Amino acid sequence: MGLKKEKQTCHVCNKDNLQEIISFGDMPVANAFLKKEDLQKPEFKYEMKVGFCEDCKMVQLVNIVPYDKYIIPDTDGIRNYAFFSSTSKSMTEHFAGMAKDIEDRFLDSNSQVMEIGSNDGIMLQAFKKNKVLGIEPSHNVAKIAADKGIDTMTEFFSEKLSEKISKERGKFKTIATTNVFLNIIDVHDFLRGTYNLLDKKGVFITEDPYIQNILSQKAYDQIYDEHIWYFSLHSLENLLNMNGMEIFDAEKQDVHGGSMRVYSCKKGDYKLTDRVKKYFEEEKENKIDTEIPYKRFADEVKVSKEKLSELLAHLKNERKRIVGYGASSKGTIVCNYCDIGTETLEYIADAKHKVGKFSPGKHIPIVSQEEVFRKDNPDYALLFIPNHLKEVVGKEKKFLEQGGRFITHWPEPRII
């Protein structure tokens, strides 16, 4: 029996009832791959801990990493973002569908539509009849959107920015944001800005990974510095209520390992749908508003770590050669949490742009899939992009034909 840990202050409701669920130990920034000349310099690390607030129910990072540790300007001082949404066909279809739903359900010909974190315009390009505005702080993707003719402001969204937008462009019938809200440190400022810009019966739509999926899939590799909040409908409802808003509908989505699209409005504007009532009940049945499922998750994650360590140790004992595959943020979490370094993995094979760098924390060299991995023929490759398994298996037929096998940590550590 250890001493009962002191509770900390919740980043949402400010009460001192934030209970620690799990610590992953000292963790580097998950996407901060290092250049060779930076290997000797001190690397920023923080204790990555997840907490559950007994008051507002929000699951959150206990230690929040400031933006300037991971939003790193390129040499020209301009913020750039490496992922272009529209290069993914399935995501293009997903967002076109989302735009159509919004259009059919909420918009008339005079409505204005806004998206915060609009990337290269992947969703806004699908609106044909309405005036759109994208807010996108990364210059390179914002430029692609602007080149497509999508009105885009290259700014971080805030309450202050909302005042400027309101004066210049008026109000918006829908404000959408996907995979952005979970990254926002000051969620209250963000929601005050949203509230300011919502038109009469305006709708705020968020889509983020859903806590229920993270728990059931033991997807601990979704936890990292940029993901500050892990939303349930209960916690999101409490957060919205603090800012004069409430949830009236939600819809489960089959993207990013399971997401929840949540529709909210100013208090009293819409009636709750039967669908969202059912989801709230489901969360109650799963005790999502208590610490129970989170404690269970913590236990399962610890078992998963032990299993992976045992599997790798066993293969090393048999003198097998093991490498990593896919230089991802998930890989950074798995390697640092499970203490997997160069004693186990000779290298991590990746497509182009991280080649020549080293993995955060463990400093495993990143090499080219094409130039090294496909010529090398190691015995095993630990897959750090398990969500792309099908695609990888298709690409690496030769490796498999020569007797190579993939290992995954997720959802259970095993050889595939």
Q: Give least dist CB 101 to Zn ion, A.
A: 31
CA–CA distance, 92 with 234 (Å, rounded to integer): 30
Count of alpha carbons within 13 angstroms of residue 37, beta-carbon side: 0
> Is 13 one of the binding residues for Zn ion (CB under 5 A)?
yes
Instruction: Specify the stretch interacting with Zn ion by CB under 5 A; choose among 13-21, 120-128, 175-183, 312-320.
Output: 13-21
CB of 204 to Zn ion, least distance (A): 20
Q: At what angle do helices 187-197 and 159-169 cross, to 10 degrees?
A: 10
> How many Cβ atoms from other residues are within 10 Å of residue 64's Cβ?
12
Q: How far is the CB of 55 from Zn ion (least distance, A)?
A: 4
Nearest residue to 266 (alpha-carbon basis) of 331, 334, 185, 197:
197
Which pair of tokens denotes residue 379? 């015995």
Nearer Cβ to Zn ion, position 241 or 309?
A: 241
**Distance in Å, CB of 239 to Zn ion, minimum:** 9
C-beta separation of 15 from 9 below 8 A: yes
CB of 7 to Zn ion, least distance (A): 11
12 belongs to the binding site for Zn ion (CB under 5 A): yes
Q: Which stretch binds Zn ion (CB under 5 A): 3-11, 103-111, 277-285, 302-310?
A: 3-11
From 7-15, 59-67, 247-255, 383-391, span contacting Zn ion (CB under 5 A) = 7-15
| Residue 59 or 392 with smaller CB distance to Zn ion | 59
Which C-beta is closer to Zn ion: that of 11 or that of 362?
A: 11
Torsion of CA 140, 144, 147, 153, to 10 degrees: -60
Closer to Zn ion by CB, 234 or 305: give it.
234
C-beta atoms surrounding 193 within 10 Å: 23
Nearest approach, Cβ of 396 to Zn ion (angstroms)? Answer: 45
* AA letter at 249: D
Least separation in angstroms between residue 64's CB and Zn ion is 14
Min. distance of Cβ 53 from Zn ion in angstroms?
A: 3
When the beta carbons of 13 and 308 are compared against Zn ion, the nearer one is: 13
The span from the CA of 210 to the CA of 231, in Å, is: 6
236 binds Zn ion (CB under 5 A): no
Q: What is the DSSP pairing of strand 59-61 with strand 45-53?
A: antiparallel
Q: How many residues does the chain have?
A: 416
Q: Which residues pair with 265 in a beta bridge?
A: 246
Which 83-142 positions form the footprint of Zn ion (CB under 5 A)?
A: none
Of 58 and 176, nearer to Zn ion (C-beta) is: 58
The interface with Zn ion within residues 306-335 (CB under 5 A) comprises: none
- What binding mask, one character per residue, do residues 48-67 give for Zn ion by CB under 5 A, x or -? -----x-xx-----------
Span from 47-55, 115-123, 247-255, 334-342 in contact with Zn ion (CB under 5 A): 47-55
The size of the interface with Zn ion (CB under 5 A), counted in residues, is 6
Return the range that interacts with Zn ion (CB under 5 A); candidates 4-12, 155-163, 258-266, 311-319.
Answer: 4-12
The nearer residue to Zn ion, 10 or 334, going by C-beta atoms, is: 10
Q: Please, which residue, 162 or 238, has the CB nearer to Zn ion?
A: 238
Give the pair of three-digit tokens for residue 106.
């909420």
Q: How far apart are CA 350 and CA 325, in angstroms?
A: 6
Q: Is 406 left (phi over 0), alpha (psi -120 to 50) or beta?
A: beta
Question: Of 55 and 246, which has the nearer Cβ to Zn ion?
Answer: 55
Signed CA dihedral, 369, 372, 376, 379: sign only: negative
Q: Which is nearer to Zn ion, 55 or 151 (CB)?
A: 55
Cα(371)–Cα(264) distance, integer angstroms: 49
Tell me the C-alpha distance between 273 and 176, whole Å: 19
Token output for 110: 């005079």
Rg (alpha carbons) of the chain, rounded to whole number:
22
Structure tokens at 171: 């109000």
Both structure tokens of 281:
């009940």
The reply to whether 199 sits near Zn ion by the rule CB under 5 A is no
Query: Would you count residue 10 as binding Zn ion (CB under 5 A)?
Result: yes
Taking the complex as a whole, how short is the minimal distance between the CB of residue 283 and Zn ion, in angstroms?
Answer: 16
State the minimum distance, in angstroms, from the CB of residue 235 to Zn ion. Answer: 8
Nearer to Zn ion, 14 or 377 (CB): 14
As measured in angstroms, the least distance from the Cβ of 14 to Zn ion is 7
Do 86 and 122 form a contact (C-beta atoms < 8 A)? yes
Q: Which residues contact Zn ion by CB under 5 A?
A: 10, 12-13, 53, 55-56
